[in-house]
Structure 1
Amino acid sequence: MNNRKITRSRYRLVDLDVSNYRLLFYALLVGLVTGLLSSAFRLVLARLAALRTTFQIGEIGQAWQDWLWPMLFTFFGIWFSIFLVKKYAPETAGSGIQEIEGALDGLRPVRWRRVLPIKFIASIFSLSSGLLLGREGPTVQIGANVGKMAEDVFKQSSEEDNPLISAGAASGLASAFNAPFAGIIFVIEEMNGHFKFNFYSLAALMIGAGSADMVVRLLVGSGPVLKTTIFTFEELSGIWLFVLLGLVLSVIGIMFNKLLIGALDLFKKLKVSYVIIALCMAFIITAVGLYSEDMIGAGYSTISHVYNSSFTLKFLLALFIVRFVLSVLSYGSGVPGGIFTPLITLGVILGMLFGGVAQHFFPDLVPDPAIFGVAGMAGIFASTIRAPLTGLALSVEMTANYELILPLIFTAVTASVCTTMLGNAPIYSILLKRVLNKDESSL
């Protein structure tokens, strides 16, 4: 009898090992497929961005024909994106990260056959239209759905849902920003209440994120996404300035989250056709772009210009206000797109604005205001998403400023702790509750 029990235990251990090794292999496949899809996504967006520059608006006062084409380009992108989402896959609206968190809890379905094509195509149109949205939301949802697809195709048990979907989400974020460590940390930190943590599920995250990033670097390019100066930080007497910046960003995080939800409620109450929404948003984006291209779009070129151009503090303030409002409206319109990149752009602008003021009053403590621009990226992410480690990892990986980890820690921790004490909930938790409440009301 004892020998039989030992034999059975050994068989169970062998089966468990085989299952775990199979999970790691599937995580590799998920990462590779997500990397391929994300690479195609980024390359198409780059081509469309180049096409949009051919419709580049000139100066105010030009003939209406000179800016009619950009408005039509923007209108069609927004209209077609909303059309696809509303008709075929409503869960693809917005970033989709809240949908993934709900799926990991078994509260939301993962309809990958619908989501994968609709999220990919609709996001291409929405992001190329000039709206202030990022590519990371779509790639995270696409990656997570690839994880669910792997589970269905290879007929795995429902227990494999969680690690494969999580590995796909990590792969999606890693491939959006060339930031594999941030992708891993994001799932562990932001999805900690949804992610089933064990050694093999963590290994699956690492394999998925690493393989996806490898594919993107081979097909799209390697190196940090944002080309900035590599800074050093040696003046410890100025560390309190980063704490102060964190306090400012904690308030900004509360404002952003409340206004984002308010924008979603506003567009829901309007009850107008998506043609009207697309037309209004196209007019706003075109009119603002006529004044300054830095005020529209995801923000990559804006960040570069903020770091490398000598913008006045007055213009930085105007840039921050306009992009803040347009980021909220862009997400509220219901098109697919992430909020990471618009948030990071706002953090850079506010950080540069803060650094410029600080340099005026404390020139000995602030050798370059751009240091606060990098810190602003981590701080605003921590105050809105309530994920300080992810914000820290993203800021460092996207700019290669590894020597700024200490001041970034002070900024991110201060922003996340203070915004929590002020009652600000993580934005994706709020968005998930909205989705679940909508499901209940429709029953």
Structure 2
Amino acid sequence: MLGVFCGLVSLYFTKVMNRVEGMYRNLNNYWKKFVVGGIMLSVLIFIFPPLYGEGYDTISSLLNGQFSHIMDKSMFYSLNDTYWGLQIFLTLILLFKVFASSATNAGGGCGGIFAPSLYLGCIAGFVFAHASNYFPFTMYLSEKNFALLGMAGIMSGVMHAPLTGVFLIAELTGGYALFLPLMIVSVSSYITIKMFLPHSIYSMRLAQKGELLTHHKDRAVLTLLNTDSVIERDFLTVSPEMSLGDMVKVIAKSGR
């Protein structure tokens, strides 16, 4: 279930980022992009302070179980002591993180994809386990372990790189106790998003420009081929109205 959930979150992240950055490309002026991106990012950080920065502080807090201060300095601080208050707050961050990343990247900043993927994955896994543990009829799930599994799942879905997600999180944990769950979540997430998107968030941009190189060699050659360098223009032409004598003169002058 976590793998499918991560695949759907990856699909949401990829599609929304592609759509938002496409809207920014319509703003031809650099300063317009900067102002619009700055305003959007400022509003989001004001409402959700954990969106500020690369997010590693939030990841560390969730993995260490010290998530009581995540809602500090936010307008949702009054809900800090409630079980579902934290759940709703993190779910909203899960939904709006893609807008913050898109505003940063498209506005001229350096937000990247790697760090937001880990950030979203940690929150997605934590939210999944946190919600499941609320119900008495479900088996207890380790929120820390599921946060790690979520990081691998989102990375596998967004980047279409399940092996990268598996080995990276395995190295981060310093052991291979979670190796089998990591494989299950990563592969499930990859299969889920692959059903909807054939390309990763990186190759999608190249595919939209017609610059994606694949294993089809003939297609790759045709993609890179510049027709202007192939078409020959240094030749003499003949027309249907020419007489035989005129055609003989043209052929005599032609070097072909």
**How has the CA–CA distance of structure 1 residues 255 and 290 changed in structure 2, closer, same or farther, with 3 Å as cutoff?**
closer
Q: Secondary structure at the match of 1:338?
A: coil
CA distance in 2, matches of 1:424, 1:354: 26
In the alignment, what sits opposite 2:41?
A: 285
> Deviation of residue 261 (structure 1)?
1.9
Specify the alignment match of 1:260 in structure 2.
Answer: 17
**Residue 338 of structure 1 pairs with residue 112 of structure 2:** yes
Distance change >3 Å, CA 422–CA 280, structure 1 → 2? closer
Contact 2:133 2:141 in 1 (8 A): yes
8 Å CA contact 2:132, 2:138 repeated in 1: no
Name the structure with the higher helix share. 1
C-alpha separation in 1, matches of 2:137 and 2:178: 19
Residue in structure 2 matched with residue 270 of structure 1 by the alignment: 27
TM-aligned CA deviation for residue 331 of structure 1: 2.7
Provide the rounded CA distance (Å) in 1 between the counterparts of 2:208 and 2:148.
32
**Distance (Å, rounded) in 2 between the aligned partners of 1:406 and 1:395:** 12
| Segments ≥4 residues shifted beyond 6 Å | 438-441
- The letter for the 1-side match of 2:33 is I
Change (3 A) 1:286 1:423: closer
**For residues 409 and 363 of structure 1, what CA distance do their matches in structure 2 show?**
27
Counterpart AA for 1:304: S
Please report how far the alpha carbon of residue 253 of structure 1 lies from its aligned counterpart in structure 2 after TM superposition: 1.7
Whether the aligned pair in 2 keeps the contact of 1:351 and 1:373 (CA below 8 Å) is yes
Match of 1:373 in 2: 147
Indicate yes or no: 2:194 matched with 1:420. Answer: yes
The alpha carbon displacement at 1:297 in A equals: 1.8
Please say if residues 165 and 186 of structure 2, whose CA atoms lie closer than 8 Å, have aligned partners that are also in contact: yes
- Taking the aligned partners of 1:362 and 1:331, their CA distance within structure 2 comes to 42
1:387 to 158, 161, 165: 161
Whichever residue aligns with residue 275 of structure 1, its letter is W
Deviation string 1:383-431 (CA, Å, 9 cap, x unpaired) is: 1111101011122223435311121111111111122123442222212
Equivalence for 1:299: 55
1:355 aligned onto 2:129: yes
Describe the SS at the equivalent of 1:403: coil
Cα distance between partner residues in 2 of 1:290 and 1:258: 25
In the alignment, the residues of structure 2 paired with residue 316 and residue 337 of structure 1 have an alpha-carbon distance, to the nearest angstrom, of 20
Q: Which among 230, 245, 257 is matched to residue 2 of structure 2?
A: 245
TM-score by length of 2: 0.68
| 1:327 and 2:101 are equivalent in the alignment | yes
Report the CA distance shift for 1:292/1:430 in structure 2 as closer, same or farther (over 3 A). closer
Structure 1 residue 260: deviation in Å? 2.1
What 5-or-longer segments of structure 1 have no aligned partner?
A: 1-243
| Aligned residues of 1:260 and 1:331 also touching (Cα < 8 A) | no
Give unpaired runs (5+ residues) of structure 2: 71-85, 213-222, 229-256
Can you list the C-alpha shifts for 1:202-260, whole angstroms capped at 9, x where unaligned?
xxxxxxxxxxxxxxxxxxxxxxxxxxxxxxxxxxxxxxxxxx01111111222222222
Could you say which residue in structure 1 is the equivalent of 2:232? none
Contact 1:260/1:332 (CA < 8 Å) preserved in 2? Answer: no
User: For residues 374 and 259 of structure 1, do their structure 2 counterparts lie closer, same or farther at Cα, with a shift above 3 Å needed?
Assistant: same
1:410 matches 2:223? no
Residue 284 (structure 1) shift: 2.8
Residue by residue, what CA displacement relative to the aligned partner does 1:273-294 show, whole Å, maximum 9, x if unpaired?
A: 2222222222333333334431
Which amino acid is the alignment partner of residue 309 of structure 1? F
Alignment length (residue pairs): 198
- Per-residue deviation at 1:343? 0.9
Deviation at 1:333, TM superposition (A): 3.1
**Over the residues paired in the alignment, what is the CA RMSD in angstroms?**
2.7
Matches within 5 A, 1:21-420: 244-271=1-28, 273-307=29-63, 308-310=66-68, 312-361=86-135, 365-400=139-174, 402-420=176-194
TM-score, normalised by the number of residues in structure 1: 0.41
Alpha-carbon deviation of 1:372? 0.9
Q: Distance in 2 between matches of 1:337 and 1:415?
A: 23
Taking the aligned partners of 1:366 and 1:424, their CA distance within structure 2 comes to: 35
Q: CA deviation at 1:300?
A: 0.9
Contact 2:36 2:107 in 1 (8 A): no
Q: Distance in 2 between matches of 1:346 and 1:378?
A: 10
